Amino acid sequence: MSNKAPEQKGIETAQQAGGEMFDCGEASDPGCFMNRMSSCSPVTVKMMSNDGKTSIRLSILGVENEKCRFQRKLDEVLNLDCQFPKGTLNWDTIDQTFGNEKGLQGVVDSACKSAGW
């Protein structure tokens, strides 16, 4: 029998221990993902595209080989896999991965590889 509380989507009720993935649900609290991203702690969040047709899952897998590993899934299919040098992963960098110009395309190009295309 487990002492863990049942997971509730969009509400931070689960406990995180060590390097376990923390689920921020459906981004009702943007700080949930942002705070963990800044320390490259394992975290995931789900959002919908602006047109409401595509689910987007952003995940920080943690530090691997001295780099912060980030993945993006569209409709639960891996779309982008990145290993950002320390200090380069922030919301502007993630925004740049969606094609929103933040002057960080060189950082994204050197850190990321597209999956499936």
Is the pLDDT at 68 greater than 90, yes or no? Answer: yes
**Which amino acid makes up residue 17?**
A
DSSP state of 5: P
Smallest CA-to-CA distance from 46 within 20, 65, 27, 66 is with: 27
| Those residues with Cβ within 8 angstroms of residue 8's Cβ, 6 or more apart along the chain or in another chain | 25
Q: Is the pTM of this model over 0.75?
A: yes
Greater confidence (4 vs 65) lies with: 65
Q: Following CA atoms 13, 78, 30, 96 in sequence, which dihedral angle do they give, to the nearest 10 degrees?
A: 160
The mean predicted confidence, pLDDT, of the chain is 84
Is the pLDDT at 90 greater than 90, yes or no? Answer: yes
Q: What is the pLDDT of residue 116?
A: 59
Smallest CA-to-CA distance from 61 within 53, 70, 52 is with: 70
User: What's the angle, vertex CA 105, arms to CA 109 and CA 73, rounded to 5?
Assistant: 65
**Which amino acid makes up residue 73?**
K
Q: State the average pLDDT over residues 53-66.
A: 95
pLDDT digits (tens, 9 = 90+) for 1-57: 433 333 333 333 333 335 799 999 998 888 999 999 999 999 999 999 989 999 999
114: confidence class by pLDDT, cuts 50, 70, 90? confident
Among all chains, which residue has been given the structure tokens 């919301």? 91
Q: State the average pLDDT over residues 63-79.
A: 94
Q: What is the pLDDT of residue 55?
A: 95
Q: What is the chain's alpha carbon radius of gyration, rounded to the nearest angstrom? A: 14
Q: Backbone phi, then psi, for 79, in 5-degree steps?
A: -115, -30
